[in-house]
Each structure stands twice: as structure tokens, then as C-alpha cells.
Structure 1
Amino acid sequence: MPEGHSVHRITRQFARNFVGKPVTVSSPQGRFAQGAAQISGHIMTDAKSVGKQMFLEFDNGLWLRVHLGMYGAWDFAGDIIMDATIASANGRMGQTNQRGTILDVVPADATADAAGDGEGDERIFDRAGENSMHSIGAPRRTRVRMAEQEKETGAFDTFPPEPVGQVRVRLLTDAVSADLRGPTACEVLRPDEVDAVIAKLGPDPLLDGSQEAEDRFVGVVRRKPTPIGLLLMDQAVVAGIGNVYRAELLFRARIDPHAPGKSLSDEVVRHLWRDWGHLLRIGVETGQMMTMDDLDHDDYVRAMANRADRHWVYKREGLPCRVCGTHITLEEMGARKLYWCPYCQK
């Protein structure tokens, strides 16, 4: 399931390519024809996300709400303008691109120097597919899939391209199309209905890094007897965390996933909130769930190119802990796989 950083990145692409433009909306598969007719022909006026949910506003006051769920993905095609604000938190670009089985590290040019210093930035072409798009700035006629994994699939001859597969909804401007497949939720809402959906969600540190948002998260966690490993996955407690970030956040804080929320100190829970904000920003900037800090150049390049080198415990069951050597444990919690170190997190 796409986690919060992916949905924020998708929202940025809508903001760059659709907001301010009239949009033709259709439902090639037919299941969303009625909803599409309500917003087709109207100008998109806003694009925002909260946690794993995205909301697109139109000038008739209606919103398109999308939750990708386990299988949803957006496919963009056309003269796509990439989000020029994406630059990694540690000064490297972290721009990556799926190119078969080739791994290449090249200097970024001046136009890609979003960090601003023109030195030391690099693009890393990732063979795993969990990555961001490799260039930014000028429009490029191409196809890009955005979900938990982002993948560029090359150029095409005609625009708009023919819909491929079961496309629930297509959004189309004169230059860019966006096709949605397999979402858990896709519906047109009034403003009050959008407010009601958002009111049920926990705070999202990328949208609200205030003390009030932090206090809200801390207050909920410290009142609950529920294991913290379940609380972090509860979107009513905190928005955007999924299976990868849950495992990594708990390891980074050395917290037993089974510990009741109310058993944790105020300081520990506040650290979780701040670390989630830190990792979320890195994920949005690089397109990858990079959860290991303070890597040297070679380790950074290796981690950006291979998911197995950028996580502490996720998908490392049976392997030795990177800190203590104890084998990482895999179990089920909340119907999802949980990875943790029984020694470091005891």
C-alpha cells in the first residue's frame, strides 16, 4: 500500500500539471461515469493530501477524493512538468529512474541542482523500481507510473494515449493525462464531506508541524492500552504511516512493537512524532523510504540503488540485526507483517 510520502508526491504532480487548467474527466471502464460527469470540463483549483488520501478540488466546489489502497496507481502521460522542489534532505538530489538492470551514478547538471550549491549532487538510477523520477523542470513527453513504486515507461507516439487496462478515471488537459487504476476509494464529494473525511484522520506532520498537532498525537497514544505497533498503523491516530515506516520508526526508537501506548513516556512518543516528520520529508524529497541516517557517500549510493540497503529491519527477517546481530523477527500484527529486533527493541 502506498504510504504517506508517495501520496504527497503524487499530489505535487497534480499541482504542477493540472491546477489552474480545465480538465476533461472520463471513466474508460465505466464504473465512475456519473462522478466524472460532475466535474468534467471544470478547472482544477487545488490538490492536497492528508496521509494516504488525496483530494482534488474543482471550480464548481466539488472535490475528487482518491485512496489508492493496496492496488491503486496513477499513470501520468504527456508533457509532464516534474516537481522542481524535490531535493534530498542531506544535499544530494536522490533523483532515481528505473532503467532495466543498469545501475549508473552520474553528476547532476545545474538545472537539477535543487540543493542550490551545484556540487556533490547526483542522480542514481535504481534497479529496484522504488524510486523518484530522474529529471525535473522542463516538460517531457513520457509516461510515469506513481504509486508505492514510481516507474518511467518511455515515450509514445500519440496524445492522449489509449487507456490501458481497467482505468477507473482519466483526467485530461491539453498536455497531460492521468489514469487511475485499482483504487480503494474514488468519489466526488462536497466540501463538507471532505471536511468530515479529514476530521477522522490523525495529524500529518507534513501538513501541520505545530505543537498542537504533536500534542494531539501524543495525547491519543498515551491514553491507549493498544500496542504501539497497531497505533502507528491507525490512520485515526496518525496519518500516512504504513508497514515500512511502522517497522523502521519503532526500530529507530528501540521500542517494543507490543508495548501499550500508555506505557510509553511522553518523551518517547514525542520522539516518534518528530522522527515520522523527518522520515516523511526525506521520502517526499527522494521518492524512497530512506530510513538509515548518516551514511557515507558509498553507503548512500548503495542504499539509494537497492531497498535492501536502506532499511534497518523491514524485509530482513532471519538476517542479523545491523546493530546487535540478533536475527530479525517476522510476525503478524494487525493483519500485516511486522519486522523487529527482539534484542534492540526489548
Structure 2
Amino acid sequence: MVKILITGGAGFIGSAVVRLAVSRGHEVVNCDALTYAACLANVAPVAESDLYAFEQVDIRDREALDAVFQKHSPDAVMHLAAESHVDRSIDGPADFIETNITGTFNMLEASRSYWQQKGKPADFRFHHISTDEVFGSLGKEGMFTEDTPYDPRSPYSASKASSDHLVRAWHETYGLPVVLTNCSNNYGPYHFPEKLVPVVIINALAGKPIPIYGKGDNVRDWLFVEDHADALLLALTQGEVGRSYNIGGENERTNLELVETILSILDDVRPKAEGSYKDQITFVEDRPGHDQRYAIDPTRIRDELGWRPSVTVEEGLERTVRWYLDNEDWWQALLDRKGVGVRLGTKA
């Protein structure tokens, strides 16, 4: 078992990692600035555990990061803290540059300083969690591999691409023991209600229009967040130093197909008094620079580490829909946060 410093552990993916790591007996130090998309309720299931500690720290604050390292002496870092909403990056790219690039630089330097002070232990790890969006957009054929050239198209993906490059440079230049992972679109419990899957569920229940960008023919590979958390812990503990691993759900769907699947589940488990939730689908103007297709080739993590997703997108979506139906208090409390329920990303 290891002591893991997890940045962004009150966010969507980060909290899934926190919950799973603690359940498996790892010590966890959750570092989160508690910005608009963070919620400590996400880690409530483990918050009272002796294995869990929380530090409210902004990764843009280097002195605060150094203090956390000295206080907790982690064996590993899992860096998930990031601004991640593409539409928000179009309206306000500065936050993405400061958090995703400068913040990652601070994390690398704080980790390097701590690692050197400890005598450069060989078993220390800096695991950087990134996205498949750094690879750009695919046509109808092909998949992203770890060797796909970077071609980011949005301020968000460009900032994440930059952070990936920094992590690789710190490994090559300073010898910092790093592992990188790039994931496909996540969904599941505790997903902040500005992203597609929760927007569909919440708008459907409220009787509101369900917005689909363009024609709804953009394709994504969908990864259940709890499967992703499992893959991340595996990459941290068994991944090869200096290597990157693409993590995908092996579940490609167009946005329209995904939305219709969610609404079919809702029609079954909480039917409307009249008609179908699909009647609420509304096509809206597309997002500027909207990538057409993402698809992950997960061969490396499957062959080298033995990981595969445990659920299909239909199984994962049903679990997700039922979670949102059972946890209305959680998402209702977030609907008043800045930008939620408002169309963003149109300023371009």
C-alpha cells in the first residue's frame, strides 16, 4: 500500500480515484482548491477514514504545495487537478493556462524538490492524468495510440497537451519517475452538471429542452469513471516509468446515440406521464472547433497491464441514470453555481 497525494480529489474523476484508493487500503492526501466544479460531498463516503486527509490547496500556489509535501511525505502523486470544460475554455482561456500549464509546472517542481530531498527514491511516482483531446480529431477510421502526434484544437486541449509535454520533459531532463495516461470521455456518478450526460438527465427530468450540438454526429469513446479509476491505480502501481497509456472504454457512440440511450433508460425507469423524453431533444448551433471523432486504442494497457473496461456504455449509463435519480439532493445543490445551465463557449 502507498500514500498517494491526489490533486483535484474533490472533482469528478479525482473523487472516484480517492474513493477507490481508500477502499483498497491506500493512504490518500486529497489536495483541492475547491473551485466551482469541486464538491466535498464527492468524497463523503471515505471522509471519516483514518486513511484520508484533505488539504485545501491551489496548485498555482507553490509554497502551499511544498508545505503539503513536507507535512505528508507521499510515496506517489496522482495529478488530476485541471480546468476541463471545453466550452468554458473558449470563453475564458486564461484560467486553463494558469491551472493546467502553470499549475502542472508547480506540481512537477514541488515533486522534484521533494523527490531529491528524499534521495531520489526509485519507487516514487508522478502520475499525470490527461485526455485524448490532445490528439485532435479523427476521421471515420483510425484510433488514437500512444504514438499519435499531438494536434489540440481548443484552449482546453492545448493546455493539457502543454502539461503532457512538461511532464515528459521533467522525466527526460531531471529523471523524475513519471507515468502518463490519456483517457477518453468519462461519465458516471458525481459528474458535475455542466457536462453532457448529467445535462441530459437533469434537463429531461425538469421537462426542459435537451441540447445537442450540430447534428449530434460527433463521436466519442465513453469510459465509466469507476473503470477509469481502476485503470489509473493500476498504471500508478504497475506502469512502466516514462511510459504513457491510453485508457478507453471501447464504447464509441455518436452524441445523438448516447443521448437517445440515456433517454430510453429514463423512459423505462421513470416514464413521463405522456410521451417520451426523446421529445425534448433540441438541436442547437455547434460549438466552435468541435472535434468530429475521438477513439482510443487501448492495446498497450490491455497487453502490458491486463486492464479492460468492466462495463458496456449501456450498463454504465443505466447505473449512472439510477444514481442521479437516487441522489437528487447532490446535484440540486450544484445547479446555482456559476455557468451551470447556461450555454457557454459561443464567444468565438
TM-score by length of 1: 0.21
Decide which structure has the larger Cα Rg and report it. Answer: 1
Q: Normalising by structure 2, report the TM-score.
A: 0.21
Higher relative helix content: 2
